[in-house]
Amino acid sequence: MESMLPDLSHWLVQWSSMGGYAAFVWPAYAVAGAVLGGLAWHSWRTHRISEAALERLQLRGDRAGGPGR
């Protein structure tokens, strides 16, 4: 097992350096993650606001006698 550790660490360093393109690849992953996170947050927030608006409209309709008056 001890003899595998240097090989594994060498492979991990080689992989994480992305053949010299790591300066471009890792920031691209970070930007993509930030964009996806922002879109998820925006969707969640819009859904929450829409649910609140629907609840208000439903309550207003119930007070007015409902759709089948």
- Domain extents for the chain? 20-69
For residue 40 the two structure tokens come to 């998820």
Residue entry with tokens 């350096």: 17
Share of the chain above pLDDT 90, in %: 51
4 confidence band (pLDDT: 50, 70, 90): low
What does the alpha-carbon distance between residue 42 and residue 48 come to, in Å, rounded to a whole number? 10
The pTM assigned to this predicted structure is 0.62
Q: How many Cα atoms occupy the beta-carbon half-sphere of 69 within 13 Å?
A: 6
